[in-house]
């Protein structure tokens, strides 16, 4: 999808069209602490891009419209997009909320060859959502991914089988999958500025510099060789929430209260999805941008704050550096296998645990009366509250 979050916002408010739009943290006049989630193409002309510090985005384009993310809205539109994908093939591998690989090998008799199917797919996505998508058509995942990025927005790039290496050769080496900043430094030291330069290197040179696995992968990808199949496992891998403080935080009780709120949000999201996790991960970023993560398992698959919070608090206290100001705190659940928390043991009493009964009651109240209709006492910040 093209600048997905921003495109949805423009669809919801047509007055935004033609203006720079940035979805992300509050810039607070250039003093904001978060990052850009998505920038539309008007904002990108000013050098604004995803994952950029929001303060930098504001300095580059202070006249942009800055909007907070609306996760539920984007998820609803995403489901519409993936419903279109599913109408063409059941071989769909999501890469995120707005992107996927589709294996359409078995769909050609019904819908035509790759280019024809891609055009129909784009039309159907636009018809269902009012949004544009860019599609890359190729026989290899890596090549299709790069092709989908080359003519955004509303692009369609076809790479015929047998022309992969020729297609990749002139592209900058930074487009090589898996080449991070350090790998790019090493590749440039070898004289590689394009993917074609990597393709013509002696494979042994790459292996000596990067090791068997990474060096061999760079050689194969640069030559357009990617034998990976489309994986249709759409199971949730992890689910997390994090927050960046407006001012670096030294009050540990305030940080723990924030972490408790994040645990509550993660637990509620798990219940909405009908999944329970077995691993809790806590993330801390200190004022110097040093980032620490700690993780631990829970005794039983969990989807309630009562099960997640004690583990998260313990991990926070282990990871904390006393005296250091904290910039960001986050918590993630992972290790999902269906919903084993709802399975009963042979000798256990019937019915779910009490904490889950309470959590589900709170979910129903919030759904009916609003998110703030029920709040934990521990999250109240003043005596008046």
Q: Which domain holds residue 293?
A: 238-379
- Of 82-91, 233-242, 309-318, least confident by mean pLDDT is 233-242
Question: Is 358:312 a contact under the CB 8 Å cutoff?
Answer: no
Alpha-carbon span 385 to 379, nearest angstrom: 10
> What is residue 20's predicted lDDT score, i.e. its pLDDT?
97
Indicate if the pLDDT at residue 123 is higher than 70: yes
Select the more confidently predicted residue: 246 or 234: 246
Question: Is 85:128 a contact under the CB 8 Å cutoff?
Answer: no
CATH code, 203: 1.10.150.20
Q: What angle do CA 155, 157, 162 make, to 5 degrees?
A: 170
Residue 77 to residues 4, 23, 81, 107, 131, Cα–Cα distance (Å) = 9, 16, 6, 24, 10
The domain boundary residue, chosen from 51, 69, 87: 69
Alpha-carbon span 231 to 193, nearest angstrom: 32
Is 99 part of the annotated catalytic residue set?
A: yes
Tell me, yes or no, whether 264 and 367 share the same domain.
yes
Indicate if the pLDDT at residue 288 is higher than 90: no
User: pLDDT tens digits for 309-339?
Assistant: 999 999 999 999 988 999 999 999 998 864 3
Q: Which of the residues 15, 42, 93, 99 is marked catalytic?
A: 99
User: pLDDT tens digits for 23-66?
Assistant: 998 999 988 888 899 999 999 999 999 989 999 999 999 999 99
CATH code, 56: 3.40.1170.60
Number of structural domains in the chain: 3
The domain boundary residue, chosen from 212, 234, 256: 234
pTM of the model: 0.67
Tell me, yes or no, whether 150 and 227 share the same domain.
yes
Alpha-carbon span 225 to 218, nearest angstrom: 10
């Amino acid at each position: 999808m093209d600048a997905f979050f921003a495109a949805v916002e423009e669809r919801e408010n047509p007055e935004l069209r033609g203006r720079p739009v940035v979805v992300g943290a509050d810039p607070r006049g250039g003093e904001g602490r978060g990052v850009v989630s998505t920038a539309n193409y008007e904002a990108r002309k000013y050098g604004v891009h995803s994952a950029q510090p929001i303060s930098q985005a504001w300095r580059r384009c202070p006249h942009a419209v800055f909007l907070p993310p609306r996760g539920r809205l984007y998820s609803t539109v995403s489901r519409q997009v993936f419903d279109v994908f599913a109408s063409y093939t059941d071989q769909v591998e999501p890469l995120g909320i707005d992107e996927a690989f589709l294996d359409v090998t078995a769909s050609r008799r019904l819908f035509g060859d790759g280019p024809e199917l891609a055009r129909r797919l784009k039309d159907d996505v636009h018809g269902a959502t009012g949004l544009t998508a860019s599609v890359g058509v190729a026989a290899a995942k890596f090549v299709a991914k790069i092709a989908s990025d080359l003519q955004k927005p509303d692009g369609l790039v076809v790479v015929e089988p047998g022309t992969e290496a020729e297609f990749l050769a002139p592209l900058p080496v930074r487009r090589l999958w898996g080449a991070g900043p350090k790998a790019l430094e090493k590749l440039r030291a070898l004289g590689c500025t394009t993917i074609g330069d990597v393709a013509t290197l002696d494979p042994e040179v790459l292996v000596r510099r990067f090791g068997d696995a990474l060096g061999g992968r760079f050689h194969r990808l640069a030559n357009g060789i990617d034998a990976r199949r489309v994986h249709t496992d759409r199971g949730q891998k992890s689910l997390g929430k994090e927050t960046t403080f407006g001012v670096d935080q030294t009050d540990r009780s305030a940080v723990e209260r924030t972490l408790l709120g994040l645990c509550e949000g993660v637990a509620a999201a798990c219940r909405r999805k009908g999944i329970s996790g077995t691993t809790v991960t806590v993330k801390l970023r200190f004022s110097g941008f040093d980032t620490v993560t700690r993780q631990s398992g829970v005794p039983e698959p969990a989807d309630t704050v009562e099960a997640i919070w004690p583990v998260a608090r313990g991990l926070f206290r282990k990871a904390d550096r006393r005296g250091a100001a904290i910039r960001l705190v986050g918590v993630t659940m992972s290790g999902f296998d269906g919903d084993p928390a709802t399975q009963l043991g042979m000798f256990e009493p019937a019915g779910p645990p009490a904490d889950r009964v309470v959590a589900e009651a709170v979910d129903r109240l919030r759904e009916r009366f609003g998110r703030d209709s029920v709040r934990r006492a521990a999250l109240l910040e003043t005596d008046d509250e």
